[in-house]
Structure 1
Amino acid sequence: MINYKIKDILSGIKKSGSITETAQSLYISQPYVSKIIKEAEDELDIALLDRGSKHIQLSYAGQIYLEGLNSIDTQFSKLDTKMREIAQSQAGQISIGISESLGEEILPMIVPEFIKQYPNYQLNITELPSKQIEKAVIENQIDVYIGFNPPMNNQFVYRKMSENQLSLYTPQIDTSFAEEITDASQLRVLNQQNFISISEEMVFGEIIKNFLSVNKLEPRHIIEVKNINTAISLANKGVGYAILPPQSNSKSAIPISKSLLKTDLIMAHRAIKNNTPEMIAFLKISQHAFHIDPDKQTIQGNTKRS
């Protein structure tokens, strides 16, 4: 067991070359100094002092030992500072889970400002299919899920960030459609037609599958992808029909009324998990990015601990 008084004693001997002067400078007795040195040497089984000259010097082992003790002292001081920062919510970390498709769009809106305002918070971002992110949040491997609103799960608290319109992408420009699709009957054109699907590993894919099923629409699923942007690119190349978020430069995308089909972008965390200072900070930046009044934000789920 290290007696950390030995560090001050070795430092004093290195400076003065005298046990007596070292004892006086530390306001302790010379016998006590000698006792501490002997205990350390016995424990380490090596001499810390070179007593063969007029002035006592640290042996090579003594110098190395002192350097090590100084290093430990520095590290402990840094650790103490870090713990105080964490206790005062000046430092910490938060893990965010988001799909690659949404990450490209959402993260640039939030991350730069978050890092600017909270430089001492470490932000860990995981990009995975949204169903995997849900599972990771439930297992407490990730703090916050950002994505489309999945079917209600009482293990989560959901905060609505935005309400998003979807569009029907057609293989070629089709002037037979109205300016906006307001009824599912207008989508019967999809039956037995080539359709670009989003994998059900993604919440978005599950939303579209359920919509098609409820409205008895039976397109031919010719290709399935996980990345929404990939699906949009394929749709714009005329590979098939698709129901996807709108893209400003797409000429073949027909808006679908929100009353018929929409997606909510949400942030969610485990209902049994208290909001940490880091999570509160990330939510605050996100609300500002989406122009959300916190007092009017829609929250679903068990909010007792949120």
Structure 2
Amino acid sequence: MEDFSFDRQIIDVLETVKRTGSISQAADALFISQPTISKIIRKQEKKYQVELLDRSSHPLHLTYAGEYFLEQCKRFNQSYETMQHHLRQFAGVSAGSLTIGVTPSLSSVVLPQLLPVFYQRYPHIHLHLLEKTASELEEALLNHAIDLYIGVTPGYRKEFSCCRLFTDGAVLLLPRRLSRDLKLPPSIEDIGPLVNGLDFISEEEGSSFQRLVNAYSAKYNLAPNILVKTAHISTARSLACAGFAATLIPRLMLTEEVRKADLQVISISPEVFQFDISGTFDVDVAPSEPLINFMNLAQEVFQPPFGKEQDATVDNS
């Protein structure tokens, strides 16, 4: 910092000598002694091996080198002051970057609730989003390509640490053309009698939700007629809403599209199908300040537990 303040001093000295044409008048204007002014100028001349003043002329004036040196010092000083201003803005403010991995279907539901609030609260933290399948994001987390994975809590891995955000469940979307307007309870454990042999849409195997569906299907020996497998559960939802086939979706994906569709919506009892959505990060990497801020906000946003407003069964009857 001493060098920066000295550069400001040489600027004042050279500008005053240039204006007054005299060392003595410059000394009077700056309230410092003539020897001090001469010493300041001589030191810079010795440092750069160039004369800054033409001492043969009266009044004194700057040499071409002196004019160039003064101009560059002024530019440097302005850049330094700009840097100081920006750094003061960061004082006491979280800054940095954070790379978040999230599945496409979950991002459309969760991120709109988080990002506007996050950017308002932490405008100097830059977020980068990576939307991939759960298996791809878990691999990206292991390879340190992302800082945080938001999704269904992965199966136990010693490399991962998980922080629960909220708990969700599953619902069956059953087009009326397939259900024949059966009188069904709002929540059941075994959907086998409803879907066995029925046209059905499932997700591809890279989906963490599909892994849960597979485990549930194995437990109750479900045997639907799989017509198509989709990369994203949102596609399965839209196809079911169009009456194409039945499907299972997370409760968090009950949208206006579902409410307006000609469907029966049946919740699977949480006793048999329930899962957590978590923020997952590498246990061997110390959490950065942006990561801590994001997770604190996420837990704040999803308290009370996300989906509480969805607890009532969707009534399409």
Given the two structures, how large is their TM-score scaled by the length of structure 1?
0.76
How many angstroms apart in 2 are the aligned matches of 1:91 and 1:147? Answer: 25
Q: Which amino acid in structure 2 is aligned with residue 9 of structure 1? A: I
Over aligned residue pairs, what C-alpha RMSD do you find?
3.2
Is the contact made by 2:172 and 2:266 (CA closer than 8 Å) also made in structure 1?
Answer: yes
2:73 corresponds to 1:61: no
Percentage identity across paired residues of the two chains: 21
The 1:144/1:19 distance shift into structure 2, 3 A limit, reads: farther
Does the 8 Å contact 1:10/1:66 carry over to 2?
yes
* Residue 206 in structure 1 maps to residue 211 in structure 2: yes
CA gap of 1:49–1:105, structure 2 versus 1, over 3 A, is farther
Query: Is the Cα–Cα contact under 8 Å of residues 96 and 124 in structure 1 kept in the other structure?
Result: yes
CA change 1:204–1:62 in 2 (3 A) is same
Matched, 1:152 2:156: yes
Summarize deviations over 1:263-295 as a string: whole Å, max 9, x none. Answer: 3221222222333333332223222222249xx
State whether structure 2 residue 115 is matched by structure 1 residue 107: no
Q: In structure 2, do the counterparts of structure 1 residues 216 and 58 end up closer, same or farther at CA, with 3 Å as the change threshold? A: farther
Instruction: Report the residue type matching 1:16 in the other structure.
Output: V
- Give the 3-state SS of the residue equivalent to 1:252 in structure 2: strand
**Corresponding residue for residue 14 of structure 2:** 13
Residue 182 of structure 1, aligned match among 170, 184, 188: 188
Of residues 217, 233, 247, the one that matches 1:228 is 233
Aligned to 1:94, the other structure's residue is in SS state strand
- SS of the equivalent of 1:178 reads coil
Correspondence for 2:265 among 250, 253, 257? 253
Residue among 48, 70, 81 paired with 2:77:
70
Q: Secondary structure at the match of 2:176?
A: coil
User: Over residues 120-176 of structure 1, what are the superposed CA-to-partner deviations in whole Å (9 max), with x where a residue is unaligned?
Assistant: 333333333222222222223322221122222222222222221211122435233
Shift of residue 50, structure 1, vs aligned partner: 6.5
SS of residue in 2 equivalent to 1:235: helix
1:275 to 284, 287, 293: 287
Whether contact under 8 Å (2:7, 2:77) holds in the other structure is: no
Residue type matched to 1:221 in 2?
I
Aligned with residue 291 of structure 1, among 303, 312, 315: 303
Contact in 1 for aligned 2:22/2:60 (Cα 8 Å): no
Give the AA of the match of 2:167: E
Verify the 8 A CA contact 2:149 2:279 in the aligned structure 1: yes
| Partner SS, residue 271 of structure 2 | coil
Contact 1:41 1:48 survives alignment (8 Å): no
> In the alignment, which residue of structure 2 is the partner of 1:194?
199
Contact 2:192 2:221 in 1 (8 A): no
Q: Which residue pairs with 2:98 in the alignment?
A: 94
**Distance change >3 Å, CA 89–CA 206, structure 1 → 2:** same
Partners of 1:194 and 1:48 in 2: how far apart?
A: 88
Deviations 1:92-147 (A, max 9, x none): 33332222211221122222222333333333333332222222222233222211
SS across alignment from 1:170 = strand
Task: Go from structure 1 to structure 2 and tell me whether the alpha carbon gap of 1:76 and 1:290 turns closer, same or farther (over 3 Å shift).
Answer: closer
Q: Aligned residue for 2:43?
A: 35
Shift of 1:194: 2.9
The 1:202–1:113 alpha-carbon spacing in structure 2 relative to 1, beyond 3 Å, is same
Structure 2 length-normalised TM: 0.74
Query: Greater CA radius of gyration, 1 or 2?
Result: 2
Residue 232 of structure 1: how far off its partner (Å): 0.6
Q: What is the aligned length?
A: 283
Deviation at 1:226, TM superposition (A): 2.6
Q: Take 1:52 and 1:204, find their aligned partners in 2: how far apart are those partners?
A: 86
Q: Which runs of 5+ in 2 are unaligned?
A: 306-317
In structure 1, stretches of 5+ residues that fail to align are 294-306
Name the CA distance, whole Å, in 2 between partners of 1:163 and 1:95: 24
Q: Are the structure 2 counterparts of residues 11 and 256 from structure 1 closer, same or farther at C-alpha, using a change threshold of 3 Å?
A: same
State which drifts further: 133-142 or 213-222: 213-222
